[in-house]
Structure 1
Amino acid sequence: MKIRPSATQTAAGIGWRLLFGFADSGTADFSSVRAAQIAAVNRFTLLRLTGELTAALLLVLLLAHSAPIVTLGLWFGVAALVSVATVFNRLKMRDAAAENATPGDLHRETLQSIALGLVWAVPPVLFSGIGGIEQQISLWTIYFALMVGTTLLLSPLPLGAISFLLLVGGSNALAMWKAGMPMASSVGASFTLMLVGACLANGRAFISHRTTTRALVEKDEVVSLLLREFEDGDADWLWQIDASKSLTHVSPRLAYALGEEAMALEGRPFLQMLAGDSWETGNFSAPLRIFAEKLKKREAFSNLPMPVTIKGETRWWEMSASPRYDDRGAFLGFRGVGSDITAERQSADKINRMARFDTLTGLPNRLQITEALGKAMAHADQWRTRCAFMMIDLDRFKAVNDTLGHPVGDRLLGRVSERLRALMSENEMCGRLGGDEFAVVVRDASDSARLERLARRIIEELSRPYEVDSHTLYIGASVGTAVGPRDGRSVEMLIRSADLALYRSKDAGGSTYHAYEPQLHVHAEERRVLEIALRKALERGEMFLNYQPVVSADSGTIESFEALLRWTNPDLGNVSPARFVPVAEEARLIAPIGEWVLRTACAEAMNWPASVRIAVNVSADQLGDPSFVSTVVSALAQSGLPAHRLELEVTESVFMREGTCAVQVLQQLIELGIRLSLDDFGTGYSSLGYLSRTKFSTIKIDRSFVQGASRNVQENLAIIRAVVALADSLGMATTAEGVETEEEYAMIRKLGCRKVQGYLFGRPMSTQDARALFNDPAKVVAA
C-alpha cells in the first residue's frame, strides 16, 4: 500500500489556488480536508449568529436618534434575514459535507460570507458623519470587534473571511476618509490588512494541520494492514531467543518451518537447530558463521540469507533481527523475522546458470568465456607465462540449416559441443560464443607446439562425419589463435587478434588453422579505413564509370559497352575494384552502389546510337533482393532506355547460394526483355544445370582461357571450343574477354566466338571518349 500524494501536503506546498478552493489536489482524500474546513466554521454558527445579531442591535440603538429610523430598521431586517438564512443553510448542509466536501461547498460558504460583508458594508457609508464623534468611535468599535470575531471564527475558510474583511474594512476606511480623518482611515485600512494576513496564515496552518493528521492516519492504517498481512501470511515467521540463544515464545509458523511442535522447541538452542548435522562436526557454512557472529556481538542484521538443514533437507532462509534490552540496559536476547527463500534461491541459481551457460549446448557462454580469459590473462601476467584464445567457426554449417532446417542444425551443434568438450583437459575450457562460433581458453600456452596440435585435433575431430536424424552430415572447422599477452594486452584485444586469425583461415578456404600475426591487424585497419571512406564515396561524388567496348568478331563494329566502376579517393587515391568491391559486399554497401551504377549507366546509354547496348555487372546480393526488379524497372523508366538495350552480367556465384530468390529474379528480368550475360564462365561453379534453367543471351569466356589458348595450351583451346559449341546449341552468343593482340583476335574468330572485348579494341574509357567513338561509325579506334 502506498501513501497517497494528498496526504503529504505541507504548509509550504499549499498554493493560493488550493487555499482559496479554486484548485483541487486531484485526489478524493482532500475532500475530507475541505469537509473539516466547513465543519470548523459550522461549529461556531450559533455563536456567530448571536454576535452578528447583537452587533446589529447595538448599531441600531447607537444610531436610533441620529439616522432615519425607517432606513435603519430596513437595514436591520436585511441583516437579520441574511444572518438567519446563512445559519439555516449551514445547518441544512452540515450532514451532507460531514465527511467529504467539494470545492463547490467551499464556494457556497464564501458567497454567504460575501453576502454578509455586503450587508455590513452599508452602514459606514450610508450613515457616515451622522451623530457626534462619540457615536462614530462607538460605530467603529462595533465594526472592529465584528472583524476580529470573523477572523477568529471564519479563518478556516480564508477566501470567505478575507472577502468579509475587505468589504467591511474597506467600507469603514472609506467612511473615515469622507469624514475628513485620513489618518484614522489609514489605520483602519492597515488594521484590515493585518486581519487579512492573519486569515491567510491561520487558513494555511489549518489545512496543513489537517493534511498532516490525515497522513498520520494513513500511516497507521498501512502499519496495521502490514501487520495483519504478516500475521495472516504463511511465508514469514517471528522468532525470539533469550540471552543464552535459546528459543522462546515459539510461534506456530516457526515450529512448522522447523518441523517440530512449538512446545518441544521452547528452550532449545536456535543455532544447533539451524546447523543440523554440521553442529557436531563444526563444518558450518559461511552465512551461518556470520549469523552466529552477529548473535555473539549482539549486532542487528537484516536480510541475511543462509542455508539451514531441516530434517536432513537443505533449505534457504533469510533472517533479520535486532538485540533486545530492558529498561536498565540488560541484554535480553534477539527478536526478529525469518522467511523461507528456497524457491527464490533455486530460481536465482537457474537464472544465474542461464546467464553463464549456453542453453542449447550446455557449454559456457560468451560471458563466462570472457571471464575465464580475463583470469587466464591475469595469471599469465602475474607469473610471466602465456595464455591463449582460440576462435572456432564451423564450415558449411549454413548449408545444413538451409537444406535440413534449424532443428537439425541445433542438434548438430549439440554433437559438435560434445566432441569439443571431449578434447578439453584441465588446462582448457571451451564454450559457445553464438551461432556456429565456439571458443577455447587455454590457461597455460607456454608450449606453442602443443597449442598447434590442439588446434589441428579440433579441426580433425569436428570434420569427421555426423549422424543426425538419419542424415550423414559433413562440415569442417576453421581455427584462429592468439597468444596473450603477446598478441593482446587486454581481453578485448586478444579476442580481436584471434578473430583476425580466424578470418584469415576462412579466407584460405576453411578447415585450416592460423595463428595471429601483426600484419593481420594492419590489414584489418586498412580494411576499416577503406570501409569508412567507401560509405561516403557516393555522396561525395568520388565514384564514376568507365566504359569498355564489346565489338562484333566479324565486322568489328561496337555492339555494346560494359560499365566498369571506378573510385578515386582524395586520401587513398585510385582504389582498385578488386580491393573495394569485396569490402562493399561484406559491409552491405553493394546494393546502393550497384543501384547508382545501374541508373548512371542507363542514363549514359541514351547518348549512344539505338543499336548499342549497355552491360552492367550485378552482384549476388542484389539478385537476392526481391525488390531488385523494381529497381531495374525504375532505372529504365527514369532514363527512357528500352529494356532490350540493357544487359545484366552475373557470375556463377549467384547459383551457389542456397535459399535465395536469384533464379526467380533472373526469370522476371528476362520476361521484361532484358538480356542476361554469364560472366567468367568456367572459373567457378561450372554446372550446366543452371544454363538449362536460365536463358542467357551471352556466355563470356574468361581472359585466362584466351591467354592460355594464345600460347597454344591445348586444354584451353578445347575449353573454348566446348563453350562455343555449347552456347551455339543453346542459342547463346559467346564473348571472349582479354583480347589484346591481332593474333589473339584472329584465333578467337577462328574458334567461333561472336563478340570480342579487350585492349585491342579499347581500354576502359571515360564518358567523353566513349561518345567520341561514334563520330565514325564505320570503324573502331583501337586503344
Structure 2
Amino acid sequence: MRTLLGLGAHQEDIGDLRQLQLAPLRGKGSLRLSMGIGMAFVAAFTMITTRVALPVASGWLAVMLLFGLLSYRAFAKLPLGDPKLQGGAEFHMCNRHAFASAVLWILPFWLQGGAPGLDHSLAMWAIALLMMLTLAMIAHSVPSTCLLFIVPVSLSAAIALIRGGAPQLAGVALVAGLLLCAFSLRFAQSYIRFRRAEEVLHEKSETVSLLLREFEETSADWLWQTDNARRLIHVSPRLAYALGSSAEALEGLPLLQALAGDAWETGQFPKTLHDMAERMKRRESFSNLIVPVTIGGKPRWWELSASPRLDDQGKYLGFRGVGSDVTEQRASAEQIARMARFDNLTGLPNRLHLTENLGRALGHATEAKTRCALMILDLDRFKAVNDTLGHPVGDKLLAQVAARLKSMMEPGMTCGRLGGDEFAVVLPNVQDAKEAEDLAHRIIATLSRPYVVDNHQLFVGASVGYAMGPQDGATVETLTRNADLALYKSKDKGGNVVAPYVPSLHAQAEERRVMEQELRGALDRGEFELYYQPVVTAEDGTLNGFEALIRWTNQTLGNVSPGRFIPLAEDSRLIAPIGEWVLRTACAEAMRWPSNLKVAINVSAEQLTDPNFAAVVVSALAQSGLPPQRLEIEVTESVFLRDGGGAAQLLDQLIALGIRLSLDDFGTGYSSLGYLRKTQFSTIKVDRTFVVGAAKGATESIAIIRAVVALADSLGMSTTAEGAETELEVETIRTLGCSNIQGYYYGRPMPASDVLALFRPPDSLPCAAA
C-alpha cells in the first residue's frame, strides 16, 4: 500500500510497479478532457443560477478550460506505461495535476462568500461527487492521484455544508469521500496484484514455451504422448529419430510395440516393460523408469517418465511424458559399480567383494554344517621392488602375480586383492584344513617362480595364513582377523611359509603389540647395549676383530633376543634408527681398541633400501674418527633378493670408501655365486650348520666348505667359519683352510668393558681363549 501511494522505501521493482499503475491512463486523455470541460460548464451554469456573479463564474470557467487544455497537452506527450522507463516522473506529475485540479474544484464552494447557501453547497457537492467518481474510475490504478483530489474536495464540501447550516449533510459528504478513498486504495491493490499475477503467468507461459522449443530442438531427450488406447500420437521428429523410424510410421502405433521391437511378435518382453504397461493400464504416473528397448536390432536403455492426461471434466485422454537414452550413462554406472567391487590394477575382486563372498560362504557353511576357509597371503620381498625399481614396475609385478593366482582358482573359489601386496582367497567348501593348506603350498610354489618385468628378473615369495570357518570365526570380521594373525605368524617364520590359525596366536599378537610399544621407546630409555664376539685368525688364533651384536633389556619384557625384536623392528620401520645407533656406538667403541682390530656390524636389508644409509655410515666414521678399513659391513644373501639392484649399488659406494664387506650365512638359502661376481666382498662367512656337519664327518658339509674356501681364495677373499664351539670343530676348520674363526671356543659375546679388559697392559695383545 505504501509503495502504491509513493510512500514506500526504495525497491528494486518500483519502476515495474509504476508502469503497471500508469498503463490504464494511456489513451484516456480525451475522456478526461471532455469530462472536465463538460462538468466545468455545468458547474458554471449552476453557480450563475445560485447567485454567483457572472464575471466570477466566467473567470473560473475560463481558468478550468485553460487548465484542462494544458493538462491534456502535457499528458499527451507522456509515454505512460512504457516498460522501458521507470515511470517515476509521470507518477509524480499525475499527483501534481490531481492536486491542482482539486484546488480549482474547491473554489466554486466559496465563490458566494464565506457563508455559502445550502442550495449552492449541495449543488457544488453533487457536481464534485460526480467528478470524484469519474476520477476514481479513470485513475483507479493510481490511488495517490485519487486521494489528492477526493480528500481536499470532500473536506471543502463538508465545511461548506456546515457553514450552510446542514452538518448532517457534511457528515454524509465526509463518509462519501472516505468510501471513495477506501475504494480507490483497495481497487488499486487488487488491480496491481491481478496485473502482477497476469504478467508472471505470461512470463511462465513464455518460459515454458521457450523451454519446450529448446528442449525439442537441442535436448537429447524427447516428448511423447499416447491416446487413451496407449497408441502414440503427435510423434515428434526427435522421438521418431530415437526409434529409428519416421513420425508418420509411428503415429497410432502402440507404445509397447514401438519399444519392444522384435520381441513384440514373441511376447517375450522384459519385466520393466511389463511393469510400465501395467502402470499405464492402471493410469498411474511413473518417473525415471529404466526400460530396455530394441532399436534396429540393438539393445538400448531408455529412461521414461509420464503422467496421465485429463480434460476439464476429468476424462482420461492418455499419457504424456518425456524420455531419454541412458545407454551410455548405464554403461558408466555399471563400470563405476564394477570399479567399486574390483581392483583397478589387477582386475581381481577387491576387499568389499571378497567380504561379501566370504559372508555368503560363511553363511552357507553355518547352515549346511560344512566348512569354508579364508586364506590371506602377503608377498615377500615386494617392498624392495617398489623402493628400488619404482612403483610402475611394482604394479606390473602385482598384475602378473594376480594372473598366476587367478589361474589356480577352481570353480567356486574367489581370489582378490586386499590392498598393496596383500591378496586373499575364499574357499566356500572345503573338507578339512589339509585341503586349504595344500592349495596354499601350491600358491607359494607358483608365486615364487621368477618374474620378468621390463627386462628385470624378479623373485618374490609369499607368506600365507588361513583360518577355517565357522570354527575359527563365526563372523566375517572374526575370521578375517584370525586369518591375519595366521599371516603374521607365517611372516615371523621367515616367509614362504603356510601358517594355520591357532588360538594361541592371540596371545602372541598381544605380546608382539606390547613388544613393539616398548621397542619404540627403547632408544630414548637407553635399553640397548652392544656385545662384541671375538674373531681370530684360524692359523694361530690371533685376535683380528670383533662382531658387534645388539642386546635389549627391557623393564617389562626382560632380556629380549635379537631373533625376536629385530624382525619386529624391520616390520615397524624402527630398524633404521636402531641400526644407526649400533653403527655409531660400534665405531666409537672400536676407536678405543688397538688400531689393527676391525669391527663387524650386521646390516639388514631394510637399512640398505634407505638412500641415506651411505651418508649415515660416512657420518659415523667422521664423528668417531675410525678409519674405513677397520669397519666391516655384514649382509646376508637375502639382501640381493629383496631389491632389484639398489642394494648392490649402495654396497659398491661403501666399498669405494674403503669399507670392508662380508657376506654372511653363505649358501644357506640361495645361490650366491652371482652376487660374488657382482659385488667385491672382502669376506665370506660359512654358516655354523656346515661347520657342525664337517666336524661330524658329513661329506656334503666338507665339500661345501672346501668349495667356498677355494672360491674365496680364487677371488682374493678371506673366509670366516661361524659357530666353532669345540676343539674338534676348530681343528676341522683349520684343516679345511678357512681364514678366520668365530665362536664360543674363542669367546662369547661380551660387553664393551670386558673387551677393554683384554687390552691391559696396552702393549700386550693376548689371544682370547675359551
Which residue identity lines up with residue 768 of structure 1 in the other structure? S
1:339 deviation in Å? 1.1
* Per-residue deviation, residues 108-140 of structure 1 (Å, max 9, x unmatched): xxxxxxxxxxxxxxxxxxxxxxxxxxxxxxxxx
1:61-110, Cα deviation, whole Å (9 max, x unpaired): xxxxxxxxxxxxxxxxxxxxxxxxxxxxxxxxxxxx989xxxxxxxxxxx
Mapped to 1, the partners of 2:746 and 2:262 lie a distance apart of 97
Picking from 528, 537, 562, the partner of 1:577 is 562
**Secondary structure at 2:599's aligned position in 1?**
strand
**TM-aligned CA deviation for residue 306 of structure 1:** 1.4
- The 1:34–1:565 alpha-carbon spacing in structure 2 relative to 1, beyond 3 Å, is farther
In the other structure, the counterpart of 2:750 is: 765
Corresponding residue SS for 1:771: helix
Instruction: Give 2:608's match in structure 1, choosing from 623, 630, 639.
Output: 623
Report what 2:577 is aligned to. Answer: 592
Work out whether 1:269 is the aligned partner of 2:267: no
Rounded Cα–Cα distance in structure 2 between residues aligned with 1:743 and 1:413: 49
Displacement of 1:592:
2.8
Partner of 1:774, secondary structure, is: coil
Q: Which position in structure 1 is the counterpart of 2:589?
A: 604
Q: How many angstroms does 1:37 deviate by?
A: 13
Q: Is 1:251 the counterpart of 2:236 in the alignment?
A: yes
Alignment partner of 1:737 is 2:725: no
Counterpart residue number, 1:445: 430
SS of the residue corresponding to residue 233 of structure 2 reads coil
SS in 2 for 1:636: helix
Q: Distance in 1 between matches of 2:364 and 2:609?
A: 49
The 5 A counterparts of 1:119-134 are none
Shift of 1:598: 0.8
Q: Which residue of 1 aligns with 2:653?
A: 668
Q: Which residue of 2 is the match for residue 369 of structure 1?
A: 354
Cα displacement (A) at 1:564: 0.9
Say which one has the larger Rg.
2
Once the two structures are superposed, residues 344-388 of structure 1 have per-residue CA deviations (whole angstroms, 9 ceiling, x without a partner) of: 223333443454456677655554333222222223334444333
| Alpha-carbon distance between aligned partners in 1 of 2:456 and 2:616, rounded to the nearest angstrom | 41
Preserved CA contact (<8 Å) 2:666 2:672: no
- Residues in 2 aligned to 1:656 and 1:715: alpha-carbon distance in whole angstroms: 25
Q: Is the 8 A contact 1:234 1:253 kept in 2?
A: no
* Equivalent AA in structure 2 for residue 697 of structure 1: S
Relative to structure 1, is the Cα distance of residues 668 and 555 closer, same or farther in structure 2, using a 3 angstrom cutoff? same
Q: Indicate if the aligned counterparts of 2:468 and 2:479 stay in contact, CA closer than 8 A.
A: yes
Q: What residue is the counterpart of 2:333 in the other structure?
A: 348
Deviation of residue 572 (structure 1)?
2.3
Q: What is the TM-score normalised by the length of structure 1?
A: 0.61
How far off its partner does 1:526 sit?
A: 3.9
- What are the within-5 Å matches in structure 2 for residues 402-441 of structure 1? 416=404, 419-420=407-408, 424-425=410-411, 427-430=412-415, 439-441=424-426
What is the DSSP-based 3-state SS (H/G/I as helix, E as strand, rest coil) of the residue aligned with 1:389? strand
Residue deviations 1:409-428 (CA, integer Å, cap 9, x gap): 6896686367435xx33x44
Does structure 2 retain, via aligned residues, the 8 Å contact 1:411–1:468?
no
Secondary structure in 2 aligned to 1:295? helix
Q: Distance in 2 between matches of 1:647 and 1:535?
A: 27
CA deviations on 1:174-217 (whole Å, 9 max, x unpaired) are: xxxxxxxxxxxxxxxxxxxxxxxxxxxxxxxxxxxxxx9x9999
C-alpha displacement of 1:576: 0.8
Match of 2:664 among 652, 658, 679: 679
Contact 2:244-2:296 at 8 Å conserved across structures: yes
Of 650, 665, 671, which residue of structure 1 is paired with 2:635?
650
Letter of the aligned partner of 2:408 in structure 1?
A: L
The one-letter code of the counterpart of 1:491 is: V
Structure 2 residue identity aligned to 1:341? V
| Unmatched 5+ stretches in structure 1 | 1-18, 21-29, 40-96, 100-211
Q: Measure how far apart 1:636 and its partner are.
A: 1.2
Is the contact between residue 759 and residue 782 of structure 1 (CA under 8 Å) also seen in structure 2?
no
Structure 2 CA distance for partners of 1:622 and 1:373, relative to 1, 3 Å: same
Percent sequence identity is 62
The residue type equivalent to 2:625 in the other structure is G
1:268-417 matched pairs, under 5 angstroms: 268-279=253-264, 283-357=268-342, 364-391=349-376, 416=404
Q: CA 1:697/1:475 → structure 2, altered by over 3 Å: closer, same or farther?
A: closer
Could you tell me how far 1:755 is from its partner in structure 2?
4.1
SS in 1 for 2:564: helix
TM-score (norm 2): 0.62
Secondary structure at the aligned position of 2:360 is classed as helix
Q: Residues of 2 paired with 1:297 and 1:285: CA distance?
A: 19
Give the conservation status (yes or no) of the 8 Å contact 1:624–1:660: no
Cα pair distance change 1:638/1:37, threshold 3 Å: farther
From 774, 777, 782, the equivalent of 2:759 is: 774
The 5-angstrom pairing of residues 65-80 of structure 1 reads none
Q: Is the Cα contact below 8 Å between 1:456 and 1:513 reproduced in 2?
A: yes
CA distance in 2, matches of 1:608, 1:35: 101
CA distance in structure 2 between the aligned counterparts of 1:770 and 1:37, rounded to whole angstroms: 105
1:676-725, Cα deviation, whole Å (9 max, x unpaired): 23333453446445445544333334334444555565665665565555
Residue identity in the other structure for 2:557: L
Go from structure 1 to structure 2 and tell me whether the alpha carbon gap of 1:670 and 1:720 turns closer, same or farther (over 3 Å shift): same
| Cα offset, 1:599, TM superposition | 1.5
3-state SS in 1 of match to 2:322: strand
Report 1:524-535 matches (<5 A).
524-535=509-520
- CA deviation after TM superposition for structure 1 residue 397, in Å: 10
* Root mean square deviation, CA, Å: 5.1
Alpha-carbon distance in structure 2 between the residues aligned to 1:463 and 1:755: 36
Aligned to 2:619: 634
Residue 259 of structure 2 aligns to a residue whose secondary structure is: helix
Query: Is this contact kept in 1: 2:308–2:316, CA < 8 A?
Result: yes
Tell me what 1:696 maps to. 681
Tell me, in whole angstroms, the C-alpha distance in 2 between the residues paired with 1:729 and 1:466. Answer: 32
CA positional deviation for 1:575: 1.3
The runs of 5 or more residues in structure 2 that have no matched partner are 1-8, 20-83, 87-196
Cα distance in 2 for residues equivalent to 1:662 and 1:731:
22
Question: Which residue identity lines up with residue 304 of structure 1 in the other structure?
Answer: L
Letter in 2 for 1:237: W
> For residues 469 and 743 of structure 1, what CA distance do their matches in structure 2 show?
51
Query: Cα distance 1:274–1:217, how it changes in 2: closer, same or farther (>3 A)?
Result: closer
Instruction: Confirm or deny: 8 A CA contact 1:363 1:417 kept in the other structure.
Output: no
Measure the CA separation in 2 of the matches of 1:269 and 1:305.
19
Q: CA deviation at 1:504?
A: 6.3
Counterpart CA distance in 1 for 2:461 and 2:740 is 42
Q: Is the 8 A contact 2:250 2:258 kept in 1?
A: no
Take 2:503 and 2:422, find their aligned partners in 1: how far apart are those partners?
23
- Give the Cα–Cα distance (whole angstroms) in 2 for the partners of residues 471 and 643 of structure 1: 33
Matches within 5 A, 1:38-117: none
* Aligned residue number for residue 215 of structure 2: 230
CA distance in structure 2 between the partners assigned to 1:435 and 1:490 by the alignment: 24
Residues 269, 357 of structure 1: alpha-carbon distance in 2 compared, 3 angstrom cutoff: same
Aligned equivalents of 1:683 and 1:477: distance in 2?
Answer: 19
1:251–1:706 CA distance, 2 compared to 1 (3 A): closer
3-state SS of 2:750 partner: coil
TM-aligned CA deviation for residue 632 of structure 1:
0.9
Q: What pairs with 1:749-760 in structure 2 (closer than 5 Å)?
A: 753-760=738-745
Change (3 A) 1:726 1:367: same
Q: In 2, are the aligned partners of 1:301 and 1:322 still within 8 Å (CA)? A: yes
SS class of match (2:225): strand
Residue 528 of structure 2: aligned partner: 543
